[in-house]
Amino acid sequence: MSGVGVSQTPPKFRVATVSLAGCFGCHMSFLDIDERLFELIEHIEFDRSPLTDIKTLGQCDIGLIEGGLCNAENVQVLRDFRAHCKTLVAVGACAINGGLPAQRNHLDLATLLADVYRCRPGMSSGSAIPNDPELPLPLNKVRPVHEVVHVDYFLPGCPPSADTFWRFLCEWMAGRTLHLDHDSLHYD
């Protein structure tokens, strides 16, 4: 008789990650869970991520977003992630409040671009600001991800520590919410 006495392995959680306007430091910190990755991989499988070569985003249980929004492509990618992930996590200061890239927010974008492309040593005043239609349009201000889509969880830090990633994912897989104490906040 089929199915009697046969223990079924629960399906793995499908996980996607992405880096928007970030530095990949949050991804590096995630990988710092080191050998616990072997235990994690017993319970999850990766979908599209800088850690895989998967080109198309599938339907995922959870998406981890590193980085904020500095251009139109970031917004498009974020909306796509929200549409494909049941649970969305803003990971790190850049995703949560714009982080380091948001330091440009008090400057006028046109002035900033002119300064970078025309006024720097080695650049002539006749240099063109890149405007190829293939390039994503920069936003006037760098924005946190929750200003554009609903975010279910926030993992603070720059980057969040490896232990924070580990504890968060363990609690989430168990159907619980991790409550971070002050000592677990990590800013390098």
Q: How far is the CB of 63 from ligand SF4 (least distance, A)?
A: 15
Show the tokens assigned to 10: 């629960």
Task: Work out how close the CB of 89 gets to ligand SF4 at its nearest, in angstroms, rounded to a whole number.
Answer: 13
CA-CA distance, 52 to 72, in Å (whole number)? 24
By CB under 6 A, the residues from 106 to 165 that bind ligand SF4 are: 158-159
**Contact with ligand SF4 (CB under 6 A): which of 77, 93, 102, 142?**
93
CA 27 – CA 135 distance, rounded (Å): 24
Q: Evaluate whether 129 touches 114 at the Cβ level (below 8 Å).
A: yes
- 25 burial (CB, 10 Å; 0-12 / 13-18 / 19+) is buried
The Cα 166–Cα 138 span in angstroms is 34
Q: Which of 57, 61, 74, 92 binds ligand SF4 (CB under 6 A)?
A: 92
Regarding 22 and contact with ligand SF4 (CB under 6 A), the answer is: yes
**Minimum CB distance to ligand SF4 smaller for 97 or for 127:** 97
Task: List residues near ligand SF4 by CB under 6 A.
Answer: 22-23, 25-26, 66-67, 92-94, 99-100, 158-159
